[in-house]
Structure 1
């Protein structure tokens, strides 16, 4: 496909001038503080709201990945890795300021490439990204080791020292491009590492712009490099590079297993944040109106393309009809449209291929006993060229069906009635994932007892999707390994502990 005059004309009416200029350029990788020319092998960036080509980015080859990694290694060895902690803090604070100053531009890139409503990017993604840099900017001067009591204090002084790992390969998904980049980059840089970032080939613009802002903030050239391209090519070269000291990946379980296998062969530390099929449980004593509102919001936010979406709603049978009616009312009020249209409250799916996959789950689940309560279709009129799908609810599918067990990653809410608390706890814990869960009850005893028995890294009680840079986030079971995001745990995974023995004899 090619970029046409018609495409650039329609974008000029949607984007602010700075965003329009950047978005319609062809982009190569960003290495050593410099933007490279696009490779002969390039990837079309598609606007999922229209199906049109926005621009192109490089499919970064092995030689260019090598330059990026070696650039990061030089920056680690010669500057950033040995910079005074107070200087790293100041640089990260300046970068947070620049993200905030350029928030309107950055929000438009994620809304354009991902289809997420720009109002949601501005109120959710951008504040979270800025918060990550501000929070971790405070950490460099707080990192310290311990004095360890030795067998005999008169013969040895033993202490520990926290050391950065070196070059970190950070691989981010398409659904939260800037936010996920910040979640990885901010703690990695605060710990003294340098980073080579590979964003999704579907959503690369905000990451490339972030690298430019990092140079403007005064980070040494090579501290943050960005290589664009597919996982099979660019990602593979990055993960297997011998000078990469650690891998941090967020994405699908399938790709996470592959990366973990490669990391295991090379004996590299790896941190994985993978998928989830998250139970959201409503007991009959809950505030039903509030629970239903949150259930609908988390199911259809960003068209359900969120790893911690409450995509499996488990409702006490006595309040099932009331909950379902409220969710359908919310779904019918959603406005499907272009991500850059401020009237839009739900955008498209990420690609036509992904929409076809989601529709495959809908077909399967009805065959296996589920009933579509509402939705399930492409919009009949309007949005015909975008990758849209109506918000959908499916009631009653058996636990063993793929739509219940697997992450659909679309605007599809699985609704399952239950009759007993012990039953619902057992069923909620039965799956292979353990990323997050929700619980709605006004009984404080049940709130404590049930939440602690749920096999999930995060449990929200009488709320859902709350998030802060201070609160650890990460899953159990097949939802992740290698450490949590956020908080002290979010930076600890980017550090090694060195023990030093000083003889006093």
Structure 2
């Protein structure tokens, strides 16, 4: 860690960031094992610290600790007390927001101002929203047609939840999984990405400070093939909650099926973002550019497939390019930065391979596509114009700062093309024709459709995909339900 980087960080955050870290089990952090993983700064390629590659033995201890808390203090805690502790945890996240934001900006390369204005408020919002639920979880009386019988249902927690989060929204995704799981009465073993572990480890410390019993929240750091596999295959894990790639989601789904575990998956998206010629073009193009290049395009709901009515293509492309030219690429902790690096050298290489396919399928790189900077994993904001529907840049999730722009001539042509892909996470529609807006929105196969806006997100509004984008919703009452199951009780009154 360079002196220049140290000068960008709060002293407390710097001390925590450069320290080596083990897993967080039963209320305390363990030591770093011999198979520790280097954590790199994606803006420089330099090593920040090392975190434990948690082995199966330590994963078992984490699950056992969570099981003990579930059977003990947390599982038997009165709802009002559980509610108060979750509110206290939200308070502590808010109080330590400046520190927490620096971890995600450092490890993920995300502009600090974005983390402060988007990720941290969303994390706090998740805990505040779900903190209100423990006293409102209730069953029902069932009017069965059986004489002298009283039947009722109870909503009960599942037990130990394995929560696996991606590297692009470390703290926010941890909150999205932890808040409803805890509100429902479960305990959690959280496995963050090995690329971005710091904010999750600090969150676990704050959970203890808030008063949650030891073992209620555990964190196991490490790679998916070892640590992650040991966690999801553990026989005492009742539920897997995963956000990440489609390939890993398919593997976990098959594993959960064999072991009969509950599972919810929020996977990839190649999201159609539609602009009709009658829309407010300036506003629509600004949203299109912002959502395509936010966090260097490393966002599952990025509007990365921009479908524009043909007569408006030139105007939209010019506006997108103007936005892209104004972006300032730099270190996530530098407040001047408005677009950071990609997460790793390997991921940058993967994005570049997609761009290599464009010329062979009739598309053109309208601008960008080059590496930039003397160090780190930076790639210019890029636009690809008029690729075919079969081009991998259209069909697959690139997860980089690559905006695909395709013209269309009518709504009748648009809808089947927009629905032709395997994903169904989100979509956007821009038009001033109310009838057209409702008609197209209802026809798009996506879990969330935004009309004349894009990327709005709230803890009260369910979010999750169709088709290969996964199943199970985050946020809202549906986000709580997936951490509960129904027990039916029959009582004879005869």
Q: Tell me the TM-score normalised to structure 2 length.
A: 0.99
1:23 alignment partner in structure 2: 17
Tell whether 2:401 aligns with 1:408: no
The Cα of 1:155 is off from its aligned counterpart by 1.2
CA distance in 2, matches of 1:420, 1:496: 45
1:132 alignment partner in structure 2: 126
1:148 alignment partner in structure 2: 142
The Cα of 1:9 is off from its aligned counterpart by 2.6
Tell whether 2:157 aligns with 1:167: no
Match of 1:201 among 189, 194, 218: 194
CA distance in 1, matches of 2:391, 2:310: 20
1:235 alignment partner in structure 2: 228
CA distance in 2, matches of 1:419, 1:297: 25
CA distance in 2, matches of 1:368, 1:318: 23
Match of 1:438 among 428, 431, 436: 428
2:175 alignment partner in structure 1: 182
1:110-163 Cα distance to aligned partner (Å, 9 max, x none): 0000000000000000000000000000000000001110103x4101100000
The Cα of 1:8 is off from its aligned counterpart by 4.7
**Equivalent position SS for 1:13:** helix
Q: Is the 8 A contact 1:8 1:54 kept in 2?
A: no
CA distance in 1, matches of 2:320, 2:55: 47
CA distance in 2, matches of 1:411, 1:12: 28
The Cα of 1:219 is off from its aligned counterpart by 0.1
The Cα of 1:403 is off from its aligned counterpart by 1.0
1:75 alignment partner in structure 2: 69
Match of 2:29 among 3, 27, 35: 35
Q: Is the 8 A contact 1:42 1:57 kept in 2?
A: yes
1:157 alignment partner in structure 2: 150
Q: Tell me the TM-score normalised to structure 1 length.
A: 0.97
1:296 alignment partner in structure 2: 289
The answer for unaligned runs of 5 or more in structure 2 is none
The answer for unaligned runs of 5 or more in structure 1 is 1-6
1:319 alignment partner in structure 2: 312
Match of 2:325 among 332, 339, 351: 332
The Cα of 1:11 is off from its aligned counterpart by 3.0
Tell whether 2:491 aligns with 1:497: no
Q: How many residues align?
A: 494
CA distance in 2, matches of 1:409, 1:448: 29
1:3 alignment partner in structure 2: none
Is 126-135 or 11-20 further displaced after alignment? 11-20
**Equivalent position SS for 1:245:** strand
CA distance in 2, matches of 1:193, 1:410: 35
CA distance in 1, matches of 2:59, 2:185: 21
CA distance in 2, matches of 1:402, 1:392: 15
CA distance in 2, matches of 1:289, 1:232: 46
The Cα of 1:367 is off from its aligned counterpart by 1.9
CA distance in 2, matches of 1:404, 1:12: 41
2:82 alignment partner in structure 1: 88
**Equivalent position SS for 1:88:** helix
2:115 alignment partner in structure 1: 121
Match of 2:407 among 417, 429, 433: 417
1:307 alignment partner in structure 2: 300
1:283 alignment partner in structure 2: 276
CA distance in 2, matches of 1:9, 1:209: 23
**Equivalent position SS for 1:192:** coil
**Equivalent position SS for 1:141:** helix
Tell whether 2:46 aligns with 1:52: yes
1:4 alignment partner in structure 2: none
The Cα of 1:366 is off from its aligned counterpart by 2.1
CA distance in 2, matches of 1:8, 1:247: 39
Map 1:316-465 onto structure 2 (within 5 A): 316-379=309-372, 383-465=373-455
Match of 1:474 among 456, 464, 484: 464
CA distance in 2, matches of 1:395, 1:20: 43
CA distance in 1, matches of 2:358, 2:218: 43
CA distance in 1, matches of 2:243, 2:73: 28
1:454-488 Cα distance to aligned partner (Å, 9 max, x none): 0000000000000000000000000011x200000
